[in-house]
Amino acid sequence: MFSFVALGLAAILGNDSYKFITPERHEILSSHIPDSKDGVLDRIRKDSRLLIYTEKEMPKAYQDFAGGLPGIHSPSYNISADKPRELYGNPNVEFPWGSPAGTESVPDDNFSTFKFLLLPKDKPIVVSKKFLPGDRRSSYVWAYPEGAVVGEVLQIYYKEKYYTFEVRLRSKSSDGWKMTSYRPFATLKEFQRFCSFNGEELSVTDKRVYQSHQIFKGDVTTTSLGKLSDGLIKKALSQKFVNALGQEWNKDAFAPTTEEAFHIVPKGFKAATIAVDTKSCTRCHESTLKHASDFDFNRDWYGRVRGSDGIFSFHPFSPGVISYSGIYQGESLRQELIDAGIVKFE
Q: Burial of 55 by CB count in 10 Å (0-12 exposed, 13-18 middle, 19+ buried)?
A: exposed
Backbone phi, psi, residue 317, to 5°: -80, 145
pLDDT in tens, the chain (346 residues): 334 443 344 334 334 579 999 999 999 999 999 999 999 999 999 999 999 999 999 999 999 999 888 999 999 999 999 999 999 999 999 988 999 999 999 999 999 999 999 999 999 999 999 999 999 999 999 999 999 999 999 999 999 999 999 999 999 999 999 999 999 999 999 999 999 999 999 999 999 998 877 777 788 999 999 999 999 999 999 999 999 999 999 999 999 999 999 999 999 999 999 889 888 788 788 999 999 999 998 999 999 999 999 999 999 999 999 999 999 999 999 999 999 999 999 9
What residues form DSSP beta bridges with 111? Answer: 156
Q: Is the peptide bond before 59 cis (omega within 30 degrees of 0)?
A: no
Q: So where are the chain's domains? A: 5-185+276-345
* Cβ(274)–Cβ(218) below 8 Å: yes
pTM of the model: 0.92
